Amino acid sequence: MTRKMFSIVTVICIAFFMVACGEGEKTTELEKKIEQLSAENADLQKKVASAADKVTGAQTYKIGLSLAITGTTSDVGVPYSKAVEDYIRYVNDEKLLGDDKIECFIRDDGYETEKTKRNFEDFLDEGIVLYLNYSTGSSLAMGKDFDEEKIPTITASFHAGNLDVSNYVFLPIVSYSSQAIALAEYLVAHHKGDTPKVAMFIHPSAFGRGPLEDLKKAIEGGLKMELVEVVEHGKDLDNTAMLQRWMEKKVQYVMCQTVQPPVATMLKSAQGLGVAAETYGEEGKLTFLGLHYAGGPDLVALAGSAAEGFFWTTSYKLMTEKGPGTDAQIALAKRYGRDDATASSQNYTNGVQVAQIAVEAILRAKAKGKEINRQSLYEELLAMNGYNAYYPLTTVGPVSYSKTDRQGVDTLQLYQAQNGVFQPVGLPFVFTPGS
């Protein structure tokens, strides 16, 4: 059985490489093959887990999630928390771990680091073997705690600095810095004329500021764009003065590193003032672009027609791209009574993927006959690479970790809002800073 699992994963890797190089119908066929093989691999792992249960007896593994269900960024936290809850329920209901179960504690922290710390301490008292964190600020503040407890931590924050403060933090997808530089490189490559003038519109937090220094280093290193201004937005609903100032400074592009509501407000203001570009790089107008949490279907729901033309980059598949993976997400949300908006949200997808990674680590440890604890799960996460990379089907590329790389999915997809729907622009690509 183990040999067969290895064989399936090998074929998946080869097929994924071909997808990255292919196009059109061939790409679609190979993607379906990857999804089919991944499903077969999951079935085999389930059989291995069931066999292990007969020897060890049923166990309950505890994990914890602290995040913003209320307050700042709760528009992200609510669907994210529902996704984690739903996927764990699904794993237990479908006995994906055999007779073993997962108990997941989910608590609101209101985006306040002190509350996050208290939640984390309570989770430790419960005996969690893996932790799911949320905000950039709390991840940075608690890095030493993660190291002291030697607990693998998967965070909703994609800030590259998280990896510097702890050896136990894992990012679900490529960092904000890599997203920002990839988006900036696209901006520069498709700009016509002199050096493009760019403004940054960011969240007033460590999350918003996360990629700034790395983007500035890229510019200093030769990326030909001028960063005219960086604005940390407030709670005010009128962006008129800011937009007019940008027009006076001849800004042509606005890159957003925040959540959807303030971006939607800005886009509506730009549309009302008539300064939003209708085509990419339109002279005398503003072209808007954003990193993962700034865009997606949720933005269209909030901004309506003002979101048209918005460029956005992420590693997640959208529900508008039909296939076994996206169909499974819709079915999961429906199964547990979620509405259409939640089912289609990229933040729901994000939460599902994080839960998938946690469950996959447990499955792999069980398949090897290991005791499920912090150390064994940490080892399994670090071993997710090469032929052992994990294909969750919620992302455009595989999850891959190692001792030297704890950013999960290295593959990105550029999307653009067209006729009210975010559509892919080109094929997924692997971004490496400096490439």
What is the residue whose two structure tokens read 């064989």? 7
pLDDT for residue 254: 98
> Cβ distance 75 to 346 under 8 Å?
no
289-329 pLDDT per residue, tens: 999 999 999 999 999 999 999 999 999 999 887 778 889 99
What is the residue whose two structure tokens read 């990326």? 223
In a domain, 163, yes or no: yes
pLDDT for residue 7: 40
In a domain, 126, yes or no: yes
- In whole angstroms, what is the distance from residue 208 CA to residue 113 CA? 16
> Cβ distance 263 to 256 under 8 Å?
yes
Residues 187 and 165 in one domain: no
CA dihedral 408, 414, 417, 421 (to 10 degrees): -60
- In whole angstroms, what is the distance from residue 319 CA to residue 24 CA? 19
What DSSP designation does 308 have? T
- In whole angstroms, what is the distance from residue 55 CA to residue 47 CA? 13
Residues 305 and 325 in one domain: no
pLDDT for residue 23: 46
Residues 205 and 169 in one domain: no
In a domain, 50, yes or no: no
> Cβ distance 361 to 325 under 8 Å?
no
Q: Counting Cβ atoms within 10 Å, is residue 27 exposed (0-12), middle (13-18) or buried (19+)?
A: middle
Residues 201 and 234 in one domain: yes
Residues 108 and 231 in one domain: no
Residues 381 and 251 in one domain: no
pLDDT for residue 364: 97
- In whole angstroms, what is the distance from residue 281 CA to residue 220 CA? 23
132-179 pLDDT per residue, tens: 999 999 999 999 999 999 999 999 999 999 999 999 999 999 999 999
Residues 213 and 66 in one domain: no
CA dihedral 297, 292, 316, 288 (to 10 degrees): 60
- Enumerate residues 6+ apart whose C-beta is below 8 A from 24: none
Read off the pLDDT of each residue in 246-262 and give the average, rounded to a whole number. Answer: 97
Residues 164 and 278 in one domain: no
- In whole angstroms, what is the distance from residue 75 CA to residue 116 CA? 18
The domain of 164 spans 59-174+318-404
In a domain, 79, yes or no: yes
**At residue 70, what is the residue type?**
T
Residues 362 and 349 in one domain: yes
In a domain, 255, yes or no: yes
Residues 139 and 221 in one domain: no
User: Which pair of structure tokens corresponds to residue 284?
Assistant: 């005398």
What are the backbone dihedrals phi and psi of residue 303, each rounded to the nearest 5 degrees, phi first? -100, -15
In a domain, 29, yes or no: no
What DSSP designation does 196 have? P
Residues 304 and 325 in one domain: no
Residues 421 and 273 in one domain: yes
In a domain, 128, yes or no: yes
* CA-wise closest residue to 88 among 138, 33, 132: 132
Structural domain count, the chain: 2
Give the SS3 label for residue 369: coil
* CA-wise closest residue to 182 among 313, 73, 285: 313
In a domain, 17, yes or no: no
| Element containing residue 416 per DSSP (H, E) | strand 411-418
> Cβ distance 353 to 389 under 8 Å?
no
Least confident among 27-36, 58-67, 196-205: 27-36
Report the DSSP beta bridge partners of residue 231: 201
pLDDT for residue 28: 53
* CA-wise closest residue to 155 among 181, 120, 179, 182: 120
CATH code for position 240: 3.40.50.2300
